[in-house]
Amino acid sequence: MRGRGRRPILLIGLALFMLLGIAVYFRLWVLEYKISSDEAELLRRQFDLANREAMEESAEWRLRYDEEVERSRKCAAELIEMKKSLTTKVEDAGINRKAEMLQQEKMDLLERVGSLKQELESVKLNCNAR
């Protein structure tokens, strides 16, 4: 009978031990869940922070890009203006050179006309003298 009396106590002890094990398991599971949910919150915050920083950096690079585009437009406009002005100066210089050449040619022609008039006068005098 001794063996039979211990059996219910042993079953009660085993059941108590199992309940205690289940309680410890649930407590560990709750802690794990809490830690994992805290980690999820931490990861979400880190992601939000990284996303915000990326947006700020993107905006900064976009601003730099816009400034460089504006600067390049200004440089291109100045270059076009300088080319026009240089072309005008070269054309003006060419026109001035042509005007000088024409002026010189006019002087040469006037001298030639003067010499031809003198030659004509001398020929007329020769014709009248005969």
Residue count (the chain): 130
What the block records as the tokens of 55 is 């947006």
Q: How do residues 10-63 score in pLDDT, each as one tens digit?
A: 889 899 999 999 999 999 998 888 877 778 788 889 999 999 999 999 999 999
Largest CA-CA distance found in the chain, in angstroms, rounded: 188
Q: How do residues 58-87 score in pLDDT, each as one tens digit?
A: 999 999 999 999 999 999 999 999 988 888
Whether 2 has a pLDDT exceeding 60, the answer reads no
pLDDT at position 1 is 44
| Distance (Å, whole) CA 30 – CA 44 | 21
pLDDT at position 43 is 84
Give the global pTM: 0.42
